[in-house]
Structure 1
Amino acid sequence: MDQAVNEIEGYLLWEAEKARARSRADAFCAGLPWLTDTQRQEVESRYCEDQRDLSRAYLERIAVRSAGLRTEYESVYLALRRRLVTAFLSGTLAVAVLVAVAAAGLTAR
């Protein structure tokens, strides 16, 4: 289920990026009023393609970095969890020893 949601979210984000590239292309071509309709279409098409390529490369870099951070954070989390469990077990053992010593002291009297 989570993977399906991620795929839908990714699709929607990519469609939004494509729409943004088309909007940028329109704005870019609006500054070039001397273009013929055919030239305008060609410039818009190439501009959109270039923007999509840049966006794809950027998103791929982000994905790689995110995966690296996830791995790094998971290893830190596991180390902290081990420390916490060790501290908890050590504290429990110390309390048990103190209780045993106190109990032995009370029965020895």
Structure 2
Amino acid sequence: MNTSDEAERGLTDIEGFLYWEAHRRTAHRRAADFAGRVAGLSDTQRAEIEGWYVEEQLRVSRSMTQHLTDHLTAVEEHHAKRYAQLRRGAYAATTLITVLILGLCVVVLIGTAG
């Protein structure tokens, strides 16, 4: 792996970390807002609700991210297979056209020489 690839990977890792950290902070804020509207909760109960909500939001996000990753991988594999089929077809057509043109040239050369 060269330096450019390492730098790109590092930036991707940082981007992923910042995304998850922002998501976690948003979940904390939403949980705190929700728990703040519920009357009669003790500080311990409020903290438990916030902790549960944040964990649940992160679990759902991970699940969705994994689902999207799996789907994108499947689509990428499908397109790679289709591209390979199209490429083989194009090579076969090019080869056939080349053979036909060469055959035609040979026929024309024999016809004009004879």
TM-score bracket for this pair, using the shorter chain length: 0.7 to 0.9
| Alpha-carbon offset, residue 5 of structure 1 | 3.9
Q: Which amino acid aligns with 1:28?
A: F
Shift of residue 7, structure 1, vs aligned partner: 2.8
Residue number in structure 1 paired with 2:94: 88
**Aligned runs of 1:13-28 on 2, under 5 Å?**
13-28=19-34
SS in structure 2 opposite 1:24?
A: helix
TM-score (norm. length: structure 1): 0.82
Identity %: 30
How many Å separate the matches in 2 of 1:5 and 1:97? 56
The aligned amino acid for 1:75 is K
Quote the Cα distance in structure 2 between the aligned partners of 1:105 and 1:4.
67
Measure, in 2, the Cα distance between the counterparts of 1:70 and 1:91. Answer: 31
Residue 63 of structure 2 corresponds to which residue in structure 1? 57
1:99 counterpart letter in structure 2: C
Aligned to 1:106: 112
Query: What residue is the counterpart of 2:53 in the other structure?
Result: 47
TM-score, normalization by structure 2:
0.79
Structure 2 stretches of 5 or more lacking a match? none
Structure 1 residue runs without a partner (length 5+): none
Of the structure 1 ranges 18-27 and 74-83, higher mean CA displacement relative to structure 2 is found in 18-27
Q: CA deviation at 1:80?
A: 0.8
Give the CA deviation at 1:100: 1.4
Higher relative contact order, structure no. (Cα contacts within 8 Å, ≥ 6 residues apart): 1
CA RMSD of aligned residues (A): 1.9
